[in-house]
Amino acid sequence: MDTASSTDDTDTISTEASIPKSKGRPKFRPAYLAAAERRQFLHEMVKCLPQPVQDRIIVLKNTQLDHISKDADFYQEINMLEVKYAAKYQDYYDRRLKIITGKVDPPKQEAKWRTVEVDEKAKGDYDFDEAMRQYKALTDNDPGIPNFWYTIFRNVDILSHMVYKQDEPALKKLKNIVERIDEPNEFTLEFHFYENEFFTDSVLTKRYILNFAPNSTAPFKYEGPVISQSIGCDINWKKNMNLTITAVKKKLHRKDSKMHFKNVPRNSFFNFFNPPIEQNFDLIDDDVKETLSTDYDIGLFIRSRIIPKAILYYTGELSEFDPSSSESSSDETTSSDDSDEDDDDDDDENENDDENENDDENENDDENENDDENEGAAGCSGACASACASACASASGGGAGGSPIAASPVPNPGVANECNHQ
C-alpha cells in the first residue's frame, strides 16, 4: 500500500470520526472540527465570499473596533467607580478588623439570613473530630477570631496550594489583608502581620498595574482591563529565619570529605512577594509565563473575592472561585491576544482537565505534607508552582467590592511588559 495514500486515509477516518454519522454521507459542520481547523475553515470561507460581501465584513469589523473603544472607556469609568467606593467599604473593613483582632467585642445579634441545617451525609467517610480539636480547644475568653486569615488560606484550594509547612507559623501571625488604591490604574495588596519571629516587617505588599487599552495586535479579543505587571517587596528576614530558602549539605569537590552547607531556594507562600523581574512575555519562557499568569490570577482572586467576602470563606459559605458558578460575573472572561490555538484547543482538552487537575493536586498535597521533599526544591517565584494546577482561569470578581478585570493563564508573548489576559 502506498504510504501517502495510507496517511490520507487515516486522516480522513480521524476527521470523520468526530462528525456525527447520518444516513449516507456524514453532514459537514464547522462546529465539529478541531479548534485550529475550524478557525482556518472560517477564514477560508470568508475569502470565498463575493468581494462586495467581503467589503461589508470589513466595514462591520471596523465598526466592531469602534465598539471596543467604547468598551475600554466603559471599563475605565468602572474602575473610577471602584476607587470611589473603596472609601465607602473602608468602614466595614475597619469594623471587621477590630472584631477579628479582639479590639471590639460586638454585642450578640440574631442572624439576618436564613440558616441551613448541616447535612451529615455530606461528610462522606471523613472523620472531622481530629481536625476539630484545635477549634474546640478555644475558650470563651479567647479574644477576636484566632487564626482568621490563616484558616481562610487553608480553606480555599487555590490559596492552600501556596502554603507549605514551614509557612504556617508565620501565616498564623497574619493580622489583616487590605487593598490600597493610590492610582486609578493600579492596586496594592497589603498583608499586615503581628510581630513575629520570622521578619521585622509589619506590612508586606504586592502591587499590580492595570492596562485598560485594547491590544493593538488582537483588538477583537478585548474583554476589559488586564493586569500588565506585578511588583513585590523585599522581606527583611531575621537571622536564619528565611522561609524561602533552605540549607543543604554539599561537597565542593569529589575528593573533599568535608560537607559544606549551601542555601537553595524552596517553595514558600512568601515567594508570592518575589515575582519574576522580567515580565515581557516576548522574552520569558513558558514556565515563567505560567507562573506570572497564576500570580495575576491569585492577586485578582484575593482582591475581588477574599478581601470583600473573607468571613464567607472562613465559614465555608464560599470555598473556591468557579468561573461557571453564580459567584462569577458575566464580565469575567479568559482569553489572550495571540494564543488562539491555546484558547481554542481547550475545547479539545476539557475531557482531560479533571484528571490532570486531580493528579496535580494530589502531587501538591504530598509536597505540602512532606517538608523534606520541599527542601532543596527550586524556588517558585510568585509562590505559584503548586497553585498552577488548581488556579482558576479567571480570578476576577463581580458585584459589590468585586472587579470586572479579566485574567487568564494564557499570556501574551507579543507585547512588551504585558500579559494580555483578554
pLDDT tens string, the chain, 422 residues long: the values are 444 444 444 444 344 444 455 556 666 777 778 888 887 887 888 888 889 888 888 888 889 888 888 888 888 888 888 888 888 899 999 999 999 999 999 999 888 888 766 666 665 665 667 667 777 777 788 889 989 999 999 989 889 999 999 999 999 999 999 999 878 889 999 999 999 999 999 999 999 999 888 888 888 888 888 888 999 999 999 999 999 999 887 766 666 667 778 889 999 999 999 998 876 777 788 888 888 889 999 999 999 999 999 999 998 888 775 544 434 433 333 333 344 444 444 444 444 444 444 444 444 444 444 444 444 333 343 344 333 333 333 333 443 344 445 443 333 333 333 333 33
Whether 407 contacts 421, CB under 8 Å:
yes
pLDDT, one tens digit per residue, over 138-191 is 778 888 998 999 999 998 988 999 999 999 999 999 999 999 987 888 999 999
259-277: buried (b, 16+ CB within 10 Å) or exposed (e) per residue?
A: eeeeeebbbbbbbbbbbbe
| pLDDT at position 295 | 92
The closest of 185, 396, 162 to 297, measured between CA atoms, is 396
Which residues share a beta bridge with 189? Answer: 179, 206
DSSP 3-state of 359: helix
Whether 273 contacts 232, CB under 8 Å:
yes
- The side-by-side arrangement of strands in the sheet containing 174-180 is 174-180, 186-193, 203-211, 226-231
The closest of 163, 148, 155 to 243, measured between CA atoms, is 163
What is the Rg, in whole angstroms, of the alpha carbon atoms belonging to the chain?
A: 26
Q: Any long-range contacts for 133-142 (C-beta under 8 Å, 24+ apart)?
A: none
Cα distances from 57 to residues 36, 46, 62, 221, 323, in angstroms, run 22, 9, 9, 17, 32
Question: Which helix (H) or strand (E) element contains residue 392?
Answer: none
Find all residues with CB under 8 Å of 247, minimum gap 6, and list them.
Answer: 261, 262, 263, 264
Place of cell 467604547: 70
DSSP label at residue 302: I
On whether the 145-389 domain is CATH 3.30.1120.90, my answer is yes
Q: Is the CA virtual torsion 99, 101, 105, 109 positive or negative?
A: positive
- Dig out the grid coordinates for 135 from the structure: 477549634
Whether 220 contacts 64, CB under 8 Å:
yes
CA terminus-to-terminus distance, the chain = 49
How far is residue 50's CA from residue 307's CA, in Å, rounded to a whole number? 55
| pLDDT at position 189 | 97
128, amino acid identity: F
Q: Any long-range contacts for 167-171 (C-beta under 8 Å, 24+ apart)?
A: 167/243, 167/268, 167/269, 167/270, 169/196, 169/197, 169/198, 170/196, 170/198, 170/199, 170/243, 170/270, 171/269
DSSP label at residue 304: I
Find all residues with CB under 8 Å of 81, minimum gap 6, and list them.
Answer: none
| pLDDT at position 118 | 64
pLDDT, one tens digit per residue, over 396-409 is 344 334 444 544 33
How many residues comprise the chain?
422
Helix segments in 259-370, DSSP class H: 286-301, 310-315, 340-369
